[in-house]
Amino acid sequence: MTNNKKLSTEGLNLYFSEKHILKDVAIGIPQNKITALIGPSGCGKTTLLRTFNRLHDLLDYVKITGKVMIDDTNIYDPKISAVEIRKRIGMVFQKPNPFPKNIYDNIAYGLKVNNTDPYRIPQLVEQSLRESFLWDEVKDELKKPAIQLSGGQQQRLCIARAVALRPEVILMDEPCSALDPFSSLKIEDLIRELRKSYTVVIVTHNMQQAQRLSDYTAFMYLGQLIEFGTTKEIFNNPQHDLTKNYVTGHFG
């Protein structure tokens, strides 16, 4: 792995109150690649994603030790504001969480808080809706409450909202779990598109999807990073028994 590391952690530990959730995680996520994060439910995938954009800051019972870097910047450097970090790192949540606004404003909001030129907003909204394959379905009802969209449409809206800002990194927490296979494939196309200019980290429970989509795969288990390598290596020649059992479906 000779790629540049976009995101990296060293000796990362995370505690929810007394509960030790992430255990000594060291990972280097390559730039302009798609990295899949796999592992059984509750192993800490979401928790790891959220350390990258400092979303844990919102909770007062979280303790984090170790190093988390984006390029050469320490994400948890007290001199760096979380807002600056989050502008560089977009996120799509596990559960679709559109704002209680209409479809258009859901995307325009992020553009506005990032000081986008107001004249460009309509065009960027359309572009991001096209990129997330939602445009044809909503172009006539952009003023409709986002909450009235189907679950899968809501998730695509959340993807559009994130990509509209052109962040350097996009974190996706099971973006396809609410989608039918056809839309999932479309989202995968989008993610492949994104790779050209972004670094993508995607959590998925779908092994086929991880293999189709990702360049690298990280396998987590009980808060530890068990194995990290190219997707080919992880799926065809895993070094660790746990990884082997998991990717072949003989788990538990």
Interface residues with ligand ATP (CB under 6 A) are 16, 21, 41-47, 59, 94
Pair 194, 168: CB distance under 8 Å: no
- Between residues 30 and 90, which has the closer beta carbon with respect to another protein? 90
Provide the minimum distance between the beta carbon of 21 and Mg ion in the complex, in angstroms, as a whole number: 12
Residues lying near another protein in the complex (CB under 8 A) are found at 53, 55, 58, 82-84, 86-87, 90-91, 93, 95, 97-102, 109-110, 113-114, 145-147, 158, 161-162, 165
Q: Which residues contact 228 (CB under 8 A, 6 or more apart)?
A: 27, 216, 217, 218, 219, 234
> How far does Cα 67 stand from its chain's mean position?
19
Residue facing Mg ion at closest CB distance: 46
Pair 213, 202: CB distance under 8 Å: yes
Provide the minimum distance between the beta carbon of 42 and ligand ATP in the complex, in angstroms, as a whole number: 4
Provide the minimum distance between the beta carbon of 55 and Mg ion in the complex, in angstroms, as a whole number: 12
- Between residues 110 and 175, which has the closer beta carbon with respect to Mg ion? 175
Among Mg ion, another protein, ligand ATP, none, what binds residue 161 when CB lies within 5 to 8 Å by partner kind?
A: another protein
- The H-assigned helical ranges of the chain are 45-52, 82-88, 103-113, 121-131, 135-138, 151-163, 181-195, 207-213, 231-236, 241-247
